[in-house]
Structure 1
């Protein structure tokens, strides 16, 4: 007999149909996440490269801030905007006349703002990836549940008919095994792409962290080498 999965699905019981439909929904949503992340990460990578190139060419922080407002997808731009806002608050609060120890203490809120912004951006970019991990781990067990249920149904049919011939057992067993195959077919791509995009996210985080470190060092050097008017007056 020719193996027809669609016909087997139509002839299956409600439990098997429910399991297959659940796997189908998980598979469709997993592939949606895959294509969404592919498009998003490409745009993020491009936006990050453009922002960093323009940032290091900017003449001052005010000009860089205008550039950052236009780079909505670049994590580095979000980190810069958060740190820049904190720097503006610090300058307004202190009036530019600080002792050295006060300047050092003033860098801590700026560093925390940059770290918090970076964490938020990475969390945003990593959204939906846990679903791929859950699909990869749960789908084989869901398929296995369908297989066990199908085999139980086959043995029940044997008991009802009082016959253990291959013609009685084979359809139910093959139907049950198809569910396991479906579970694996859903799980394998989900695991592969989860690992792939997790690595991509780690790369994005590393590049953003490197930019944040360079930017903080730049601000720190400028901030600490300003004329210390308060100390001079004393």
Structure 2
């Protein structure tokens, strides 16, 4: 006799010889769910497996009834990303939102600076062609075409203003002395520093995104993992299915931090190289401008 797949009793008994029609349930008392008749004796393992499969407490098979709304909600899941987003904690959401704002700011700075550097480089080339082709009209280049986006043009205007204070270019103007040339160069150098500051403005926002993004993401991950383990400790259920979604969602904050820092790093290096080239061009132009002025209007 087996109950629940386990043997509970044993007794010697001879199988009756069946003759005629087989009648089931005759003289029985109680309820019978299922009756199986086999031509060979079943093994203990077969009976244990049969008991494990059947019944509401079966170990091998289980069923779950869900409502139509739950089934629809489950159908709306979008793979693993949906699982991660679903298991994000409040602190992880806060970190990811901050990183999203940082990404928008960094992208705006990169686009704005790229356009500014592109326009400055284009106008610089156009102005340099006019400047190097000028001879006697060196101080009259601002009367023709203007180059509003050219830092070199603005340095040229600063030098022309200083020369105008000394009446350079006029018929009765004395030649420039060495001290006057040094004063003009100092004034142009001051404008050179201002132009460099203008080119490098807002680049600090990219450095903040580069250095702060990964640390913010790591903070969100650490806090998320702490909350996950605290919830497991409170529930007392050490289960991979309970741990994995929370940790995976916490790691999403680190991914977001790297997603902010990596593009900002590439953009910063590109823009820093372009700005360095523009600064070098401005420094060379200052020396070239002062040299041309000294040749044309300096004392001999």
- TM-score normalized with structure 2 length: 0.69
> In the alignment, which residue of structure 2 is the partner of 1:217?
291
Q: Which has the higher helix share?
A: 1
Q: Is contact 1:45–1:74 with CA below 8 Å preserved after alignment? A: yes
1:109 to 1:10, Cα distance in 2 relative to 1, 3 A: farther
> In the alignment, which residue of structure 1 is the partner of 2:140?
63
> In the alignment, which residue of structure 1 is the partner of 2:266?
192
Cα RMSD (Å) of the superposition? Answer: 2.1
207, 221, 224: which one pairs with 1:133? 207
Whole-angstrom CA distance in 1 between matches of 2:244 and 2:104: 30
Q: Is contact 1:55–1:67 with CA below 8 Å preserved after alignment? A: no
Larger gyration radius, structure 1 or structure 2: 2
Whole-angstrom CA distance in 2 between matches of 1:67 and 1:185: 48
Q: Which runs of 4+ in 1 moved over 6 A?
A: none
> In the alignment, which residue of structure 2 is the partner of 1:13?
89
- For structure 2, the 5+ residue unaligned runs are 1-76
- For structure 1, the 5+ residue unaligned runs are 227-234
234, 238, 244: which one pairs with 1:160? 234
Whole-angstrom CA distance in 1 between matches of 2:183 and 2:156: 13
Whole-angstrom CA distance in 1 between matches of 2:182 and 2:162: 10
Matched, 1:86 2:162: yes
80, 83, 108: which one pairs with 1:3? 80
Whole-angstrom CA distance in 1 between matches of 2:206 and 2:87: 30
Q: Deviations over 1:206-233 (max 9, x none)?
A: 112111111111112223236xxxxxxx
Whole-angstrom CA distance in 1 between matches of 2:139 and 2:281: 23
Q: Is contact 1:139–1:184 with CA below 8 Å preserved after alignment? A: yes
> In the alignment, which residue of structure 1 is the partner of 2:107?
31
Deviates more, 1:7-16 or 1:36-45: 7-16
Q: Deviations over 1:108-139 (max 9, x none)?
A: 22111111111111211221111111110110
Whole-angstrom CA distance in 1 between matches of 2:298 and 2:110: 46
Say which SS state the counterpart of residue 4 (structure 1) adopts: helix
Q: CA deviation at 1:191?
A: 1.1
Ranked by relative contact order (alpha carbons within 8 Å, sequence separation 6 or more), the top structure is 1
Whole-angstrom CA distance in 1 between matches of 2:87 and 2:265: 31
Aligned length: 220
> In the alignment, which residue of structure 1 is the partner of 2:43?
none
